[in-house]
Amino acid sequence: MTRLPRGGLRGRGAVSNPTGRFEAVREEAFDDGWTPDEAPDRIPTEVLTDRTRTVIARNDSPDVPFDRSLNPYRGCEHGCVYCFARPSHAWLGFSPGLDFETRIVAKPRAAELLRGELRKRSYRPAPIALGSNTDPYQPVERELRITRGVLEVLAEARHPTGVVTKSALVLRDLDLLAPMAREGLARVMVSVTTLDRELARRMEPRAAAPERRLGAIRALAAAGVPVGVLASPMIPGLNDAALEAILEAARDAGADAAGFILVRLPLEIRDLFREWLETHYPTKAAKVEALIRDTRGGALYRAEFGERMRGRGPYADLLANRFRVAARRLDLGPAGPPLRTDLFRPPRAPGAPRSLFAPRSREVSHAT
């Protein structure tokens, strides 16, 4: 295993690359004093191809407001150290650490597979969430344009969708999202975890800076796309003091809805997050961990439905009350009107010519 710099790699979130929990052999890096220059100063992103045969994932969780989602990518180059999706990389034989943000598994056939699934006679439309696991607008999307292709199929089928992202790249697809929004078919939620640029750079090294996310909210609202803010995750003792300021800044930018989620540290994320805290905020690490435990019944994470998103105990209740009071004061609801499903029409068969009367999308240029 390659030894990494003690302070982590610039532009990456995790500060180590532990072996995945399903691997038979566990590797551990150590400094033997013989190779002082072995630590790299960067690790390039590697894009691999996912051979999946289906792209719509189903869930029956009572904690989320949708029953289906689509993730164009596995792994996420944004490098958010707290990302609850990190453990899923272990299923691929990779590490939830640096592998998660440097070995991205893309689904180039996502649009094609989606088209086939929407054409099934048994299919019944309901909102599809884009970005429920990893960000559909992470940096590799600029070149691969997989999310763009998925949106084109959804727009053609007049199928409802909700997008969650930390990226201003979502503005590239306003030519699709705005017409869908006018028909009640699209909504976007932008995740803003802090207004502190330095904290954001350390927590989410390759995500858009906070001011660019607020700019994306402003541009989406101006284009008529219903847009809300997710102040998530809230990490007690680290970024939760900014909760009200985040909601107010988003409201001023045009957000009409808001939500928040307490930080979640399942499986490998627990140790990755603690390691990150000790590296970047050593004087705060003990306090942050103690406060998280206070919201999780003494543990760092509890996976029970109804508790995993909000926690429990005095500190969790205080955070929830602060959110509720601020959202009410700022007139930020939990969501807008339900997305429409009555306009759905199966997309054309693969390879079939486009109808002469079908609307054509037009790409517009936006600063991202």
Q: What is the largest CA-CA distance in the chain?
A: 70
| Predicted local confidence at residue 10, as pLDDT | 83
| Predicted local confidence at residue 7, as pLDDT | 64
Residue with the larger pLDDT of the pair 248 and 26? 248
Q: Which helix (H) or strand (E) holds 197?
A: helix 197-203
Task: Decide: 78 and 207 in contact? Cβ < 8 Å.
Answer: yes
Rounded CA gap, 101 and 77, in Å? 4
Tokens of 161: 């969708």
Q: Is 348 domain-assigned?
A: no
Domain that holds residue 87: 46-329
184-238 confidence digits (pLDDT tens): 999 999 999 999 999 999 999 999 999 999 999 999 999 999 999 999 999 999 9
Contacts of 138 (CB under 8 A, 6+ apart): 73, 76, 77, 78, 104, 167, 206
Q: Is 10 domain-assigned?
A: no
Q: Is 103 domain-assigned?
A: yes
Q: Is 59 domain-assigned?
A: yes
Rounded CA gap, 83 and 76, in Å? 9
CATH of residue 136's domain is 3.80.30.30
Q: Is 105 domain-assigned?
A: yes
Mean per-residue pLDDT for 12-20?
88
User: Treating both helix axes as pointing N-terminal to C-terminal, what angle do 174-182 and 146-157 enclose, rounded to 10 degrees?
Assistant: 30
Task: Decide: 140 and 73 in contact? Cβ < 8 Å.
Answer: yes
Residue with the larger pLDDT of the pair 30 and 122? 122
Q: For residue 51, what pLDDT band results from cuts at 50, 70 and 90?
A: confident
Q: Choose among 254, 238, 246, 333: nearest CA to 295.
A: 238
Q: Is 106 domain-assigned?
A: yes
Considering the entire predicted model, what is its pTM? 0.89
Q: Which helix (H) or strand (E) holds 252?
A: helix 243-253
Q: For residue 359, what pLDDT band results from cuts at 50, 70 and 90?
A: very low
**SS3 state at 248:** helix
Mean per-residue pLDDT for 45-73?
89
Rounded CA gap, 182 and 174, in Å? 12
Task: Decide: 220 and 186 in contact? Cβ < 8 Å.
Answer: no
Tokens of 367: 């600063």
Burial pattern 160-169, b for ≥16 Cβ within 10 A else e, equals bbbbbbbbbb
Length of the chain: 368
Indicate the number of domains in the chain: 1
Burial pattern 316-336, b for ≥16 Cβ within 10 A else e, equals beebbebbeebbeebebeebe
Q: Where are the beta strands (DSSP E) in 88-134?
A: 103-106, 128-130
Q: Is 12 domain-assigned?
A: no
Residue 278, judged by CB atoms within 10 A of its CB (0-12, 13-18, 19+), counts as middle
Tokens of 249: 């800044």
Q: Is 28 domain-assigned?
A: no
